[in-house]
Structure 1
Amino acid sequence: MPRLSDRAYKILLDEAKRCAKKEGIGSDVQLKIVIKRLEKLRQQSGDYARKTELQQTVQDMFPEFDTQALHKAAQANRPPGLGWKVKWGLIGVVGAVGAIWVANLPYPPIRRPVSQVAPIVLLPSFFSMDQNYRGAIAKVEQADQLINQATSAADIELGTEKVTQAQNHLDALPVWFLGYEPKTYCTLFGCSWRFTVDEFATARKQVGRMEAKAFQEKNALTKRQEAETALSQAKQDYQAASTEEGKQTAIAQWQTAIDQFAQLPPQTFAGKSAQQKLPAYQRDFQKVAGVAANTQTTSTFVSAAKAYAMQAAELSQNPPHPASKWQEIILLWEEAIRQLRQVNPDNREGYVEAQQLIAQY
């Protein structure tokens, strides 16, 4: 390498010319001597000339040679340092990364020519395809297990997440690239995406079906929750009702809630779990509804008996009465007693009241 770089030579030459011009007549000889010395340094090989040597080369001819110019020339004459190498190294790395990034853009006009000329540049794409294909297969299997064989609402929720992840993996696979098998990559790492476009479409359809299934399952779970809430509220309303009308309203709501359970799709997890609970719900409802119906019937019999008794009591006022009227009064009392005897003993409270009235009548 020359002992004087071109840049340092130019700095010193420009300053020497300035000094020669300033000194005027007779300075041309001095300038030629300086130029000859500088040329000699440029032709020599070895260590770079330092500031002291450069100063000795020019200052005997031009004592007023600018020290600042000497300093700049010495700086320019230094060999490239580590920082310079790192700088250009980083620039090179960034440039290479940028070129690889452009080559791996998901556009056929870019990837196809690169895959034919320099397929090794597409290694990031190959890695991505491999990972996305493996991820899609794994997520589809997990989603199928969680959704189609769910044992809880949490399985449905997790299965829905797996379906979304599988869809994302499939979206990341370039369809136009599926038939391409990079030999170098497949030799070194093995390829797992060797499937056709038709198989890819089948995978998408499977994911689509599971998305629909997950939506149906979540919708059924929501309806089951609504039915459970309505059933619980109806039970509370029935227990809190203080009138017969209030009880009948609660019973109607209870029946509606049970109907909602029966209407859940039987192929869903919510429907299957509801079918297991439905017999118990219906048994409880029938028991309550039976009691309510019995109570209502008892109330009807007692009310009718009281009406007959009231009429008999009114007719018996202000005696004496003819025998025919007494016969009519007797028939009314007997009808009142007959109504009371129809009260079912299962309704304990109503039965006791009926027996007390029979004793009075």
Structure 2
Amino acid sequence: MYRLNKRAWEILAAEVQRCSGNDQISKIEQQIVNKRLEKLRLETGSPAKLEELRDAVVDVYPQFSEKVLKQATQANQPPGVFTKIKWITILLGSSAGVLWVVNLPYPMIRWPVAKVAPILLLPSYISMNHHYRGAIKDLEQADQLVNKATSPADIELGGEKVKAAQQHLDNLPVWFLGYYPQSYCNLFGCSWQFTLDEFETARRQAARIDAIVFQDKNALTPLAEAEQALKVAQQHYEQANNTKEREKAIASWQTALDQLEQIPAATLAKDTAQTKLKAYQRDFDNARNGTLILAAQEFDVEAEKIQPTQPKAASDLWEQAINRLNQIPTENPRYLEAQKLLAAYQVKLKTAVEPRGNTYIEAAKQFALAAAKSSQNPPHSPDKWEQIEKLWHKSIDQLENIRADEPNYVAAQKLLAEYQTNLGIIETRRKAETAAQATLKEAHQQIQSLIASPPSEPQRLKAEIQGIINLLRTVKAGTTAYPEAQRLLISAQKRLQ
């Protein structure tokens, strides 16, 4: 038996709180008195009497209520149960009535019985043991089912288990935990340990699991609604007959995906949504990008029809087509297809907005600029001169597309004459380069032949060297072969000296 029971301690603690102030000194005084009372609570032996309780508090709190001390002393004394049991036995007249009475959940009856005849309390102990083990088992099962759920059925079953655990906990007498926080029925070898802290922990765990079950069940509703909305949007998309209907279905589809994203975290519904969301998003992206390309193509077809009579309306349609294609991300497989269409529609838009001839003139200037840049820092090889020729040809081809009845025909003809002159110069340079390369090659061959089998007659040798010199002099300046030809020419002239 503890020297200060829970009820007496609560009476004294309340009066200590009333006597104490809020300043730091008062808090220290309160701690001193509480430690003394706590020490009495942990000591075993005969109940503390009035004088001992008074000594524990009056030196710190002289104003401590004498009435409260007497109430605490009375509450700290064990009740006279044997007299009451005897009276009840006579009143009821049967042993069954006695057994029922002593097992009632009242500490003042059970405490003295537990000291002298604990076997009489065996029925209630068996019941408490049953509910204790049931609570632990159901809590463990509920925790496993809820926190590692793989389906809604696990959540449902976990909810049932936590309710069963709560019922078991409701059948455990809390007063028992306050009066008997130690093992019981030592006479018979029982040793069930279950303190008030453990009981409260189990209560909190049950409440936490119950809250998780509640959240999971609630989260399953928006999951089902989002998946249903997703299914309906997909059906509407497949049944759509035009761009407007398809885009409306795509908007509903996106809304359903947003609903999946908003499902509360740390729920089975969120985990389920995350596993499916990747596939849902892939299907949505394919449908959306396909719709964008198809819409752009439809706008292009309509713009082509009305462009001769309504160029402004046609321009608006091509702008809408371009806007659709610009929304396709680079990582999408259809990105290149979209870019090709985009380039074509941009040309059409520019043609519709600007005069036709201006477009051709601008294109010709771009080719001419590229040709001029490539011509810089000559000399060049025959192949490069040929590439430059092709650029000038493309530039000229653009200008030749402009009809005589167009307002910018005269300007185009001026450029055409200039570009044709430039083309002629490039052709001359290419031919000169080709001839110079051929002459240099022939000179090398004659030199190699002369070295391999030189004539025995000096005059004939000089004649052949003179022929090589004459050949090298035909290599024109401004060609890639000219520096090499000059080097060989100087070498040959030295041989003649």
TM range, normalised to the smaller chain?
A: 0.5 to 0.7
Q: 1:227 to 1:127 in 2, by over 3 A?
A: same
Q: Which residue of 1 aligns with 2:375?
A: none
Structure 1 residue ranges without an equivalent (≥5): 1-92, 313-331, 355-361
The answer to whether the 8 A contact 1:119-1:182 is kept is no
Q: Which residue of 2 aligns with 1:160?
A: 159
Shift of 1:217: 1.6
The answer to whether the 8 A contact 1:130-1:191 is kept is no
Q: Distance in 2 between matches of 1:101 and 1:264?
A: 54
Whether 1:180 aligns to 2:180 is yes
Q: Which residue of 1 aligns with 2:269?
A: 270
Structure 2 residue ranges without an equivalent (≥5): 1-91, 326-333, 346-497
Q: 1:95 to 1:227 in 2, by over 3 A?
A: farther
The answer to whether the 8 A contact 1:261-1:274 is kept is yes
Q: Distance in 1 between matches of 2:217 and 2:315?
A: 60
- Cα offsets for 1:310-333 (capped at 9, x unmatched): 459xxxxxxxxxxxxxxxxxxx9x
Q: Which residue of 2 aligns with 1:215?
A: 214
What residue identity is the alignment partner of 2:154?
D
Identity %: 48
Q: Which residue of 1 aligns with 2:235?
A: 236
Q: Which residue of 1 aligns with 2:128?
A: 129
Q: Which residue of 1 aligns with 2:247?
A: 248
Q: Which residue of 2 aligns with 1:19?
A: none
- Cα offsets for 1:123-169 (capped at 9, x unmatched): 11100111111111111111111111112211111111111111111
- Cα offsets for 1:26-71 (capped at 9, x unmatched): xxxxxxxxxxxxxxxxxxxxxxxxxxxxxxxxxxxxxxxxxxxxxx
Q: Distance in 1 between matches of 2:185 and 2:107?
A: 19
Secondary structure of 2:185 counterpart: helix
The answer to whether the 8 A contact 1:235-1:254 is kept is yes
Q: Which residue of 2 aligns with 1:150?
A: 149
Secondary structure of 1:289 counterpart: helix
Shift of 1:100: 2.3
Alignment TM-score, normalising by the size of structure 2: 0.42
Q: Which residue of 2 aligns with 1:141?
A: 140
Q: Distance in 1 between matches of 2:163 and 2:182?
A: 29
Q: Distance in 1 between matches of 2:242 and 2:183?
A: 84
Q: Distance in 2 between matches of 1:109 and 1:139?
A: 32
Q: 1:187 to 1:299 in 2, by over 3 A?
A: farther
The answer to whether the 8 A contact 1:104-1:111 is kept is yes
The structure whose RCO (Cα within 8 Å, separation 6+) is larger is 1
Secondary structure of 2:281 counterpart: helix
Q: 1:172 to 1:189 in 2, by over 3 A?
A: farther
What residue identity is the alignment partner of 1:190?
C
Q: Distance in 1 between matches of 2:292 and 2:239?
A: 18
Q: Which residue of 2 aligns with 1:120?
A: 119
Q: Distance in 1 between matches of 2:265 and 2:203?
A: 26
Q: 1:310 to 1:167 in 2, by over 3 A?
A: same
- Cα offsets for 1:231-255 (capped at 9, x unmatched): 1111112222334333222211111
Q: Which residue of 1 aligns with 2:303?
A: 304
Q: 1:122 to 1:293 in 2, by over 3 A?
A: same
The answer to whether the 8 A contact 1:129-1:172 is kept is yes
Secondary structure of 2:157 counterpart: helix
The answer to whether the 8 A contact 1:238-1:251 is kept is yes
Q: 1:335 to 1:135 in 2, by over 3 A?
A: closer
Cα-Cα RMSD: 3.5
The answer to whether the 8 A contact 2:113-2:120 is kept is yes
Q: 1:180 to 1:245 in 2, by over 3 A?
A: same
Shift of 1:289: 0.9
Shift of 1:117: 4.8
Q: Which residue of 1 aligns with 2:351?
A: none
Residues 341-356 of structure 1 aligned to structure 2 (within 5 Å): none
Secondary structure of 2:165 counterpart: helix
Q: 1:101 to 1:308 in 2, by over 3 A?
A: same
Residues 14-93 of structure 1 aligned to structure 2 (within 5 Å): none
Secondary structure of 1:309 counterpart: coil
Q: Which residue of 2 aligns with 1:201?
A: 200
Alignment TM-score, normalising by the size of structure 1: 0.57
Q: Distance in 2 between matches of 1:197 and 1:275?
A: 41
Q: Distance in 2 between matches of 1:208 and 1:177?
A: 22
Shift of 1:184: 7.3
The answer to whether the 8 A contact 1:305-1:335 is kept is no
Shift of 1:308: 1.0
Q: Distance in 1 between matches of 2:310 and 2:251?
A: 36
Q: 1:335 to 1:166 in 2, by over 3 A?
A: closer
Shift of 1:226: 1.6
Whether 1:191 aligns to 2:204 is no
Q: Distance in 1 between matches of 2:145 and 2:244?
A: 47
Q: Distance in 2 between matches of 1:305 and 1:162?
A: 70
Shift of 1:214: 1.4
Q: 302-311 or 216-225: which moved more?
A: 302-311
Q: Which residue of 2 aligns with 1:281?
A: 280
Aligned residues: 234
Secondary structure of 2:216 counterpart: helix
- Cα offsets for 1:76-125 (capped at 9, x unmatched): xxxxxxxxxxxxxxxxx994334323332333344345434533222111
Q: Distance in 2 between matches of 1:137 and 1:109?
A: 29
Q: 1:288 to 1:105 in 2, by over 3 A?
A: same
What residue identity is the alignment partner of 2:252?
Q
Q: Distance in 2 between matches of 1:234 and 1:184?
A: 66
The answer to whether the 8 A contact 2:184-2:190 is kept is no
Residues 324-343 of structure 1 aligned to structure 2 (within 5 Å): none
The answer to whether the 8 A contact 2:226-2:259 is kept is yes
